[in-house]
Structure 1
Amino acid sequence: MEIDFNKMFNIMIFAMRVNRCHPDIARDRKWALQFICVHGIFFIMFCALVYSIIFCDIKNKDFTQACSNGAICIVFIVVTFKYCVMLYYQKLFKNMIQIMKNDYKLSTELPLEEREIVLHFALKGKGVMKFWLIISICTASLFPVKAIVLMIYYKIIGDFKFVLLYDLTYPAGLEEHKNEPGTFAFLYLAFFFYDFYAMFMYIAFVPLGPIFMLHVCGQLELVKKRVLTIYPNNLFDNEKVLNQFKDIIVHLQNIYRSV
């Protein structure tokens, strides 16, 4: 059975393509325009958070709200950092993904026990991806669900009012109209985008490191198995033993090079 990297980690690959950070995407004018539009909206909402913290929360000595909004600001900084890492090390990420694809393709020619080792560590990597998927979705869904539940509650008690995802104070001119249906819908969708853009970046970036490390662990496990099976099977065939050791050394060198 051939292991397909894109199918095994399809959710992570999809998140990379949604955020336009996949290493196979050409960094041309089309990508630049997409990045400016998407990350630009992300940055504008970050500015709204900073404005609320500096000019409203701290000024009014509401440090609890300032800390709450500050934590959301940190999400922007972390996501931007992750994106920069993906861009700066684009070639490295591309090479590592290609190495895994090649190793998965070569695994079809291995004995059944060795194929199972490769598959075992690939499934572990998929488990890490699913783990981060669940965490990211639960975290990103927390604010929209809270806002919807509160609006339903206010409707039930007969005191309906709009509830935005984040409790911010907006610049003059916008603050007075934030509870109007049109303005509310605009702000809600804008911060909904902020929320789920960050979610996709976490799904795209965070599992990569563990997936790469688990794959290397699988390759080292193959080396260990081959070393342990050399002498019992080839005790009196020195030439065959030497050839097997040569193959193991080459394999180890490839592993260390990828690491």
Structure 2
Amino acid sequence: MEGVTPPPSPPLIEIEELALGYEHDGAHVAVLERLDLSIARGEFIAILGASGVGKSTLLRVLIGLAAPSAGVLRFDSRSDCAMALVFQDARLLPWRRVEANVALGLEKTKLSKEQRRVRAVEALRGVGLEGFGERFPHQLSGGQRQRVALARALAVRPDVLLMDEPFSALDTPTRQRLQDDLLMLWRETGKTILFVTHDIDEAVYLADRVIALGGKPGEVRASVTIDVARPRRRGDTRLRDIASLVESKLRSD
């Protein structure tokens, strides 16, 4: 009906009262507890917090590598919600050429060898490595290897891209260049991104929203919307103010 506002879209991912723990030397160790989080389709979320607070564990739960001990994990039924995970290190197979590394996640699909090759070439083009497919990992720089890891994730065409501190081991110029490349990919593809980092400046520069985890066991201590128009400028006073706010919330924890 004309003039009627359509109902809001349901979250792509909804997490309620999530908990995860493990047994160690006869004692129960809680990693995550009472974690609530709602993620919209196409949202870029940075997950921030100290080491050991459960940031990487949350990504592993989402992709199915770890099972929660309690709580609800709900996905939008209108989407397959396929996911891919990019690690801190590229984890490339040194005996395989770049193109074969990118196609690795496609080998158990129904795609033909030629279709897998085309997907790999497209993914490499998307991360700025067109023409690098015949090289071996040792012939690449650290930043290029991380681009290959990102291409490998993109080749499976996920709805959600999970990134576990993917730029933390890189030098500052390379890290900043890859941050901007990732933002360009995000704008072009509209994918939902969950980006784990311990770097507050990186989080507020990249994300729509920063989720600060704190405590032991880890839980959401703050959700801060980064209300600064894109494209953003590093050193913007508004970003610095938001970074200070997030830091104060983490420090108070």
- The alignment's TM-score, normalised by the length of structure 2, stands at 0.22
Structure number with the bigger relative contact order (C-alpha 8 A, sep ≥ 6) is: 1
Between structures 1 and 2, the one with greater helix share: 1
Between structures 1 and 2, the one with greater strand share: 2
Q: Whose radius of gyration is greater, 1 or 2?
A: 1
- The alignment's TM-score, normalised by the length of structure 1, stands at 0.22
